[in-house]
Amino acid sequence: MAKTIHYGIIGCGMMGQEHLRNIALLPDTVVSVIYEPDRHMAQIAATLAPDAHFAGDIAALLEWPDLDCIVIVSPNFRHIEQLEQIAAGRAVPILVEKPLFTDIAQLARLESFAATYPAPVWVAMEYRYMPPVAALLECAAEVTGGLKLLTIREHRFPFLPKVGDWNRFNRYTGGTFVEKCCHFFDLMRLAIKAEPVRVMASGGQDANHLSETYGGETPDILDNGYVIVDFDNGTRAMLELCMFAEGATYQEEISAVGPKGKVEALVPGPGRFWPERLGPAPVPQLIVSPRMPKGPEARDIPVDPELLEAGDHNGSTFYQHKRFLEVVRGERPAPDVTLRDGKMAVLMGLAAQISIKEHRVVSISELTG
């Protein structure tokens, strides 16, 4: 029989609870210890992980005897300090939620951690594992004959409430194009198989959170924009984001185009937000369109209903955890999403934020030195 793998969890807010539900679907696993300082979130977590012990701080979590791996699902601005705390106390495999960091001033600390931490670290980029997106990534090179243009469009609902409302401010999130969009910048690098050179962006805060105040402050997170990225192999990519477009049939529309054809992935948003009056939520689709004379071919990419119940990301959190568990067990040689992948996705988001603020093209080399 397989050895039971014992998880430690740091943070059990909305996304932390999704991780708990998905870990519960994995065989021979148990969440043994949790650190969650918010009482209400801890109460919810206790119902999802009834065998877990609750630690008073991270140091106590690290002392738990049965601890095979740790999942960090805390607010963005805590990730670097918590990675450092783990490194100082215990070397176990880590799955850390995106974004990996929030400020360019943290980059040196990340580099130091990456150079010295001896265990695997996987950065949580769930969008890679959404079934329609995974299907696009698998066939994009063949269908297109080599990507030349990649377009990602996300039309979605506003940021949801979080504990302490930390996601209303750039200083805690890194900014919308870091917090929300590092997923998409990761997909760009993965699909194009090249490195970003320069970023040009335009965006604003035009509809969301304008009447809210927290401690006398109005939120400063952006709610829409365009980002164009040039890559070092000549390919270019664009992101279109609108966070006041809830009710769209598909939340994400991703298209890859090359000299031979085009492939698209159409991904609906979380089913719990789909209006019941419209009937069943739409099914994800993959559309393959070779150049004429052959026309497009569409196929449904259904997702297991049990996985849809476990989270808001079209089953991707489960598939990510399944592969991370293989790393923990030594059955997979290394994480799919490395610390460098996480770093580059954040740098692209920070470049977009700077471009919007300063109305200029930003070279990635400005941020890497």
When the pLDDT of each residue in the chain is averaged and rounded to a whole number, the result is: 96
Residue 224 has pLDDT above 90, yes or no: yes
Which residue type is seen at 355? S
With contact defined as beta carbons under 8 Å apart, do 258 and 148 qualify? yes
- CATH 3.40.50.720 describes domain 5-126: yes
**For position 291, what pLDDT does the model report?**
85
Half-sphere exposure of 247 toward its Cβ, with a 13 Å CA cutoff? Answer: 5
- Tallying the residues shown for the chain, one arrives at 369
Query: What CA–CA distance (Å, rounded) separates 149 from 296?
Result: 18
Under CATH, domain 129-312+338-368 is a member of which superfamily? Dihydrodipicolinate Reductase; domain 2 (3.30.360.10)
pLDDT in tens, 315-342: 999 999 999 999 999 999 999 999 999 9
pLDDT in tens, 143-173: 999 999 999 999 999 999 999 999 999 999 9
Half-sphere exposure of 92 toward its Cβ, with a 13 Å CA cutoff? Answer: 26
User: In this structure, what token pair is assigned to residue 262?
Assistant: 């085009």
Instruction: Tell me, yes or no, if the two domains 5-126 and 129-312+338-368 fold the same way.
Output: no
Residue 68 has pLDDT above 90, yes or no: yes
Confidence of residue 79 (pLDDT cuts 50, 70, 90): very high
Q: At what angle do helices 316-328 and 131-144 cross, to 10 degrees?
A: 90
Instruction: Give whole-number Cα distances, 159 to 222, 246, 319, 322, in Å.
Output: 10, 11, 24, 27
**Sequential DSSP letters for 97-135:** ESPS-S-GGGHHHHHHHHHH--S-EEEE-GGGGSHHHHH
Q: At what angle do helices 14-23 and 316-328 cross, to 10 degrees?
A: 60
For residue 34, how many other CB atoms are within 10 A of its CB? 26
Query: What CA–CA distance (Å, rounded) separates 179 from 170?
Result: 9
Burial class (CB in 10 A: 0-12, 13-18, 19+), 351: buried
Backbone dihedral region for residue 155 (phi beyond 0: left; psi -120 to 50: alpha; all else: beta): beta
Which secondary structure element, helix H or strand E, spans residue 196, and what is its range? strand 196-204
**Order of strands, edge to edge, in the sheet holding 5-10?**
53-54, 29-35, 5-10, 69-72, 94-97, 121-124
Burial 143-179 (b: 16+ CB within 10 A, else e): bbeebeebbbbbbbbebeeebebbbbbbebbbbbbbb
- pTM for the whole structure: 0.96
pLDDT in tens, 335-355: 999 999 999 999 999 999 999
3-state secondary structure of 317: helix
Query: What CA–CA distance (Å, rounded) separates 329 from 323?
Result: 10
Structure-token match 């109005």, residue found: 218
Residue 102 has pLDDT above 80, yes or no: yes
3-state secondary structure of 254: strand
With contact defined as beta carbons under 8 Å apart, do 100 and 174 qualify? no
Burial 3-18 (b: 16+ CB within 10 A, else e): eebbbbbbbbbbbbbb
pLDDT in tens, 256-312: 999 999 999 999 999 888 888 888 889 999 999 988 777 799 999 999 999 999 999
User: In this structure, what token pair is assigned to residue 128?
Assistant: 């890679």
**Sequential DSSP letters for 8-20:** EEE--SHHHHHHH
User: In this structure, what token pair is assigned to residue 343?
Assistant: 């770093």
**For position 279, what pLDDT does the model report?**
85
The closest of 137, 236, 193, 196 to 343, measured between CA atoms, is 196
Query: Could you state, in order of their start, the residue ranges of all structural domains in the chain?
Result: 5-126, 129-312+338-368
Query: What CA–CA distance (Å, rounded) separates 197 from 233?
Result: 9
What are residue 224's DSSP bridge partners?
A: 204, 242
pLDDT in tens, 2-57: 899 999 999 999 999 999 999 999 999 999 999 999 999 999 999 999 999 999 99
3-state secondary structure of 301: coil
